[in-house]
Amino acid sequence: LDGQDVFATVRENSFWGEVVTELMADTRMEGVHWRLEGKDANWFFLDERYIRLNTSADKILDREVQGPFLTAELSCYEEDSVYRIMVEILNENDNAPVFAANSVHSLTISELTPVDTVVFTVLATDADNDKIIYSIDQTSKPNADYFKVILPNSGEVILSKPLDYETITTLSVTIHASQEMNTAEHFSTSTNITIFVLDGDDQYPQFLPCMLLLQNETNRVCTSPVYAVNVTEGEEDIVLDFSPGPIHAVDGDRGLNSRVSYAIVSQAYQDDDPRKYSLASVLVRFVAVNQFPPEFEMAEFQGFVTGGKSPVSLVNTYGNRALMLHVHDQDFNHGFNPMIYYTFSPKSKHTDIYRITQEGLLIAWTDHLQPQEKHVLEIWLRRRYKGQMDPLERGCVAQGKHPNV
C-alpha cells in the first residue's frame, strides 16, 4: 500500500461487489495475511487486490441511515501495518418529501374571510435536503379555484376568491410537495386538506315560503310571498288564516339561525308613480291588564344617616341595615315587578339631597345635612314600559322619616 491510507467514494444504494478501491498490493501473497477491522468493516470484503462493497437486499447502503462516511482499518499482522480506510457515501436523490406530522388536515374558516388572507400553511421535509415546492392539484376543481400558493417554497396557501356558505359548506383540496430539481429521480408527495366553511352574518331574513326568482349552480334568489286573507265585515276576535301560509321568516344565514322579530310597515306611494313611496313602521303593543296596584311593604319607613368623611351615604334602618323600599305587585309572579319606577312626589321637600335607585335604595348627600335634622319624603310608584311611563299611574304613597344624621 506504499504506506498510504485509503480514501474512496461510493454512491449510496450501490450493489454488492462494487469496487470501493484498488490496492497496490495483492492480498493473496503467501505468508502475508490481511484483515479488515473497525467500526464499519462489515460493509467491505477483500477480493485479491480490491476492496469491494458488502451489501445485500436486506443491507442497503443508505447515507441518511449510515451517515456520510464509512471507516475501517486494513491490518497486516506479518508486516505489523495498519492502514485507515475512509469511504465517503455520495448522496443520491432517493427520498420522497414527507409532510410534517403536525400538518393541518382539516380547518374551519368564516365565509367572511377576506380574499388574499393566508388560511393555512403546509410544511414538508426531504431527507436528501432538497428544496421543496408546493402546488395545488388543479384537478380538484372547482374547489381548487378558491385557493392559491403565492410563493411556491413557502407552503402558505391564501384565499383567492370569496366564500359563500349558502353555496358551498365544505371544500377539499390536494396539496403537492415536490422536489425542486431537474433529475431523473424526481419525487413528490401529496396531502388532502378539508376546509369547513363557517356561516357569517351576511344574509337578510327571508319570508317563507320562498317564491323562487332565480336558481343556478351558485345562486338561489327568493322573493317574499304576498300574504293574503279575507275578513268578512262585522267579524272580530278571529285568527287571521293567511295564504299561502302563516307569516313566517327565518334568518337567511341558516348556519346562524338568528332570532327574527316582526314589525308591521305602512307604505304610502303615488298612484301615478308607485316607485315614489315612503315607509313607516307600525308598532302594535300587547299590554297585559293591570288588575292590582303595587303596594309598599309598609306605609312608613324610618331611616338614619350617619355622618362621615364620604359626601354620600346609604340611608340605613334599624339593625344597621340599608333601607330598601320593598314593593309587592300581584300582577307578577312572586310579586316582583322589574318595571317599577320610584319618584318623589311634588309635595316632597329636600329632594335635591336624596336619590332613589331602581332597586329601592335611598342615597343621601351627607354634606347637605345637619345633625338632628329630620326630613319627610313622599314616594310615588310608577311602572315603565320600554322607556315610557305606564299610562295607568299607580298612586301608592309612602312616607320615609329620617330623624337622625
Tell me the per-residue pLDDT of 292-324, one tens digit each, with 9 for 90 and over: 888 888 888 888 888 777 888 888 888 888 888
Residue count (the chain): 405
Task: Say whether both 303 and 400 belong to one domain.
Answer: yes
244 upstream amide cis, omega within 30 of 0: yes
CATH number at residue 76: 2.60.40.3430
Confidence band of 278 (pLDDT split at 50, 70, 90): confident
Q: How far apart are CA 72 and CA 5, in angstroms?
A: 11
Total domain count for the chain?
4
Residue 222 belongs to a domain: yes
**Neighbouring residues of 260: CB distance < 8 A, sequence distance ≥ 6:** 205, 249, 250, 251
Q: What are phi and psi of 208, to 5 degrees?
A: -115, 150
| Residue with grid cell 327571508, as numbered in its chain | 206
- 222-226: long-range contacts at Cβ-Cβ below 8 A with a sequence spacing of 24 or more? none
Position 290 in a domain: no
The residue from 282, 303, 319 where one domain ends is: 282
Domain limits at 70?
A: 6-90
What are 53-110's pLDDT values in tens digits? Answer: 999 989 988 888 888 899 998 888 766 788 898 989 888 877 788 999 888 899 999 9
Q: Please name the amino acid found at residue 326.
A: H
pLDDT in tens, 220-267: 788 888 888 888 877 778 888 888 888 888 888 888 888 888 877 788
**Does residue 358 belong to any structural domain of this protein?**
yes
Backbone angles phi, psi at 366, to 5 degrees: -70, -25
Give yes or no: residues 185 and 105 share one domain.
yes
In this structure, the answer to whether residues 107 and 175 fall within a common structural domain is yes
pLDDT of residue 400 exceeding 70, the answer is: no
Judge if 358 and 391 occupy the same domain. Answer: yes
Starting from the edge strand earliest in sequence, which strands make up the sheet with 106-110, in order? 106-110, 188-198, 170-179, 132-136
C-alpha–C-alpha distance, residues 116 and 114, integer Å = 6
Other Cβ atoms less than 10 A from the Cβ of 25: the count is 15
232 and 176 within one domain: no
Asked if 86 and 102 sit in the same domain, the reply is no
Rounded to whole angstroms, how far apart are CA atoms 349 and 123? Answer: 78
Q: What is the pLDDT of residues 335-366, one digit of tens each?
A: 888 888 888 888 888 888 888 888 888 888 88
- What percentage of residues in the chain have a pLDDT greater than 70? 87
Higher pLDDT: 132 or 274? It is: 132
Q: What is the pLDDT of residue 116?
A: 95
Band of residue 31 on the pLDDT scale cut at 50, 70, 90: low
Q: What is the CATH number of the domain that holds 153?
A: 2.60.40.60
Q: 1 lies in a domain?
A: no
Specify whether 365 is located in the same domain as 307.
Answer: yes
pLDDT computed for residue 346 by the predictor:
85
> What are the backbone dihedrals phi and psi of residue 369, each rounded to the nearest 5 degrees, phi first?
-105, 155
Domain stop point among 248, 282, 316: 282
Q: Which of 153, 181, 19, 17 is nearest to 94 (CA)?
A: 181
The last residue of a domain, from among 58, 90, 122 = 90
Q: Is residue 230 included in any domain, yes or no?
A: yes
Whether 289 is in a domain gets the answer no
Residue keyed to cell 338614619: 304
Position 288 in a domain: no
Higher pLDDT, 213 or 24: 213
**Same domain? 172 vs 212:** no
| 231 lies in the same domain as 264 | yes
Residue 191 domain-assigned (yes or no): yes
Distance CA 22, CA 38 (A): 19
Identify the pLDDT of residue 159.
96
Place of cell 480490491: 50
Instruction: Please state the separation of Cα 277 from the chain's center in Å.
Output: 43
Comparing CA positions, the residue from 378, 337, 375 lying closest to residue 358 is 337
The stretch 20-31 carries a mean pLDDT of: 71
What pLDDT is attached to residue 393?
39
Residues 127 and 228 in one domain: no
Q: Examine the domain organization and report whether 188 and 210 are in the same domain.
A: no
One domain for residues 323 and 278: no
Do 51 and 87 form a contact (C-beta atoms < 8 A)?
no
Looking only at the bridges linking them, the beta strands covering 44-47 and 388-389 are: unpaired
